[in-house]
């Protein structure tokens, strides 16, 4: 991966999700729009969408996430984290 995508540089932590076709993009506190402002992150998300994958953009302690996939960008509502920290999809954000 490009060194500019290191979390300490781009303020985004990229990680797996429970679905292998999804990557989670966690924003560092105070840098909630870092995924939009970091060209390498946007390039990675665009590449994922072309591969029929999804990106879930998530900010600390939020139940509203942004999903980016072939249908575009939309907000979704997630459950509160369970005892293991996992959140589950509830539906479209209101």
Whole-angstrom CA distances from 41 to 12, 30, 36, 81 are 8, 17, 7, 25
Where the chain has pLDDT below 50, the residues are none
The mean of the pLDDT values for the chain is 90
pLDDT of residue 39: 86
Predicted local confidence at residue 4, as pLDDT: 87
Which pLDDT does position 84 carry in this prediction?
87
Q: What is the pLDDT of residue 22?
A: 94
For residue 20, the model assigns a pLDDT of 94
Distance between CA atoms of 78 and 92, rounded to whole angstroms?
9
Give the predicted TM-score (pTM) of the model.
0.84
């Amino acid at each position: 991966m490009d060194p500019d995508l290191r979390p300490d540089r781009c303020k985004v932590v990229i990680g797996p999700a429970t679905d292998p076709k999804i990557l989670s993009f966690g924003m560092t506190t105070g840098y909630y729009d870092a995924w939009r402002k970091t060209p390498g992150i946007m390039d990675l998300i665009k590449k994922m969408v072309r591969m029929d994958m999804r990106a879930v953009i998530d900010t600390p302690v939020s139940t509203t996430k942004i999903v980016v996939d072939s249908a575009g960008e939309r907000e979704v509502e997630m459950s509160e984290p369970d005892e293991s920290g996992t959140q589950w999809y509830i539906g479209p954000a209101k």
